[in-house]
Amino acid sequence: MTSNRHSAGPNAELAVHEEGRGTVVVEVRGELTRDAPLDRFRSAVQRHCEDDRVSEVRVDLTQTTAIDLQGLGALLALRRECWESGSTFVVDNPRGTVRSRLEQTGTLEYLRGGDSGYTPPFG
């Protein structure tokens, strides 16, 4: 199993590791907001979605303390991009205000891999 830690800015840190065959976990520690550069997060996930050896990308939000609409938009876009690349994208363990934000926007079950009835604006 490999593991990499990356600073995503002053308000966030990413930890990326393989978990079983074909599954990559991206842990977000801190904020997933416009104030914590989302480009590094997007790049980390996109790189794995496009990797033929990866069939599933899981984003662990256990230690994510905040999410805004830009962070939510990144999650939704990455789910679509992974799907288009043939990978599954799943968000795990949102807690507190992060979970509340996902529930309020009706995206929680969709991002957890379920069919919540949510239809993203991009199809």
The string of pLDDT tens digits covering residues 22-39 is 999 999 999 999 887 788
Split at pLDDT 50, 70, 90, the class of 54 is very high
pLDDT over 60 (residue 119): no
94 belongs to a structural domain: yes
Residue 72's domain comprises 3-111
**CATH code of the domain containing 102:** 3.30.750.24
Interstrand relation of 3-7 and 64-67 (parallel, antiparallel or unpaired):
unpaired
Q: For residue 119, tell me if it sits in a domain.
A: no
pTM of the model: 0.84
Residue 117 domain-assigned (yes or no) = no
User: How do 23-32 and 64-67 pair as beta strands?
Assistant: parallel
- Whether residue 20 lies inside any domain: the answer is yes
pLDDT of residue 99 exceeding 70, the answer is yes
On whether residue 118 sits in a domain, the answer given is: no
Per-residue confidence (pLDDT) for residue 1, from 0 to 100: 40
pLDDT of 86: 93
Confidence of residue 113 (pLDDT cuts 50, 70, 90): confident
CA distance 36 to 19: 26
Counted domains in the chain: 1
Angle between helices 69-85 and 38-49 (to 10 degrees): 10
Q: Does residue 56 lie in a domain region?
A: yes
